[in-house]
Amino acid sequence: MDRKSESELRSPLWLQLSKADADLLRSAESEAQLKTTPGAAPKLPSGYEFTHEGAEYEEFHVHDSGAFEELRKELPLHGNFSVRFPDGGVPILQTSQDETTFWENLFPAGTWSIGGAQPMRPKDKGASLNLSVFVDQVFGCGTSLTAAQLKTVNEFRRGKKYAKVAEAKHWFNQIGQPDLVGPDGEKKPLQESPGVFFLNAGKNNQGWWDHNGVHTQVDDMMDVYDALLASGSDIVRAATLKLHPLCKADLTRGIKAIGHGAFISIELKINYHFINS
Which residues span the domain enclosing 258? Answer: 92-107+121-271
**Shared-domain flag, residues 192 and 127:** yes
Q: Is residue 132 part of a domain?
A: yes
Report the pLDDT averaged over residues 113-136.
80
Do 126 and 49 lie in a common domain? no
Is the pLDDT score of 269 beyond 50?
no
* Strand pairing category for 128-136 and 55-61: unpaired
210/79 same-domain check? no
Evaluate if residue 109 carries a pLDDT over 90: no
Same domain, 235 and 98: yes
Q: How far apart are CA 248 and CA 262, in angstroms?
A: 33
The string of DSSP letters for 155-224 reads: HHHTT-B-SSHHHHHHHHHHTT-GGGB-TT-BBPPPSS-TTEEEEEEBTTTTB---HHHHHHHHHHHHHH
- Angstrom CA distances, 134 to 207, 230, 259, stand at 21, 19, 9
Query: Do residues 13 and 61 lie in contact, with contact meaning Cβ atoms separated by under 8 Å?
Result: yes
Phi first, then psi: give them for residue 111, nearest 5 degrees: -155, 155
Q: 207 and 136 in one domain?
A: yes
pLDDT tops 50 at residue 177: yes
> Is the domain of 132 the same as that of 68?
no
Q: Do residue 101 and residue 238 come from a single domain?
A: yes
Average pLDDT over residues 47-61: 95
Contact 105, 126 (CB under 8 A): yes
Domain check: are 13 and 60 in the same one? Answer: yes
| Dist CA 185 CA 195 (whole Å) | 20
Helix (H, G, I), strand (E, B) or coil at 25: helix
Q: How many CA atoms lie within 13 A of 102 on its CB side?
A: 7
Most confident of the following: 13-17, 64-68, 109-113, 117-121: 13-17
Query: How far apart are the C-alpha atoms of 226 and 2, rounded to whole Å?
Result: 27
Residues 176 and 50 in one domain: no
Does residue 128 or residue 247 have the better pLDDT?
247
Q: What is the pTM of this model?
A: 0.80
pLDDT score, position 150: 96
Half-sphere exposure of 49 (CA within 13 A, CB side): 9
Candidates 249, 220, 247, 248; CA nearest to 236 is: 249
* Confidence tier at 274 by pLDDT (50, 70, 90): very low
Of 98, 99, 100, 96, the C-alpha closest to 138 is 96
Identify whether 245 is part of a domain.
yes
- Whether residues 59 and 178 share a domain: the answer is no
Confidence of residue 139 (pLDDT cuts 50, 70, 90): very high
pLDDT of residue 266: 38
pLDDT band at residue 2, thresholds of 50, 70 and 90? low
CA atoms of 209 and 39, how far apart (whole Å):
51
Residue 272 pLDDT class (50, 70, 90 cuts): very low
With contact defined as beta carbons under 8 Å apart, do 267 and 211 qualify? Answer: yes
Confidence (pLDDT) at 124: 72
39 is a domain residue: no
Residue range 229-263, pLDDT digits in tens: 999 899 999 999 999 999 999 999 899 888 765 54
Structural domains in the chain (count): 2
What percent of the chain shows pLDDT beyond 70? 86
Q: Is residue 276 part of a domain?
A: no
Structural domain includes residue 230: yes
Q: Indicate the range of 186-190, 205-209, 260-264 predicted with least confidence.
A: 260-264
pLDDT of residue 15: 95
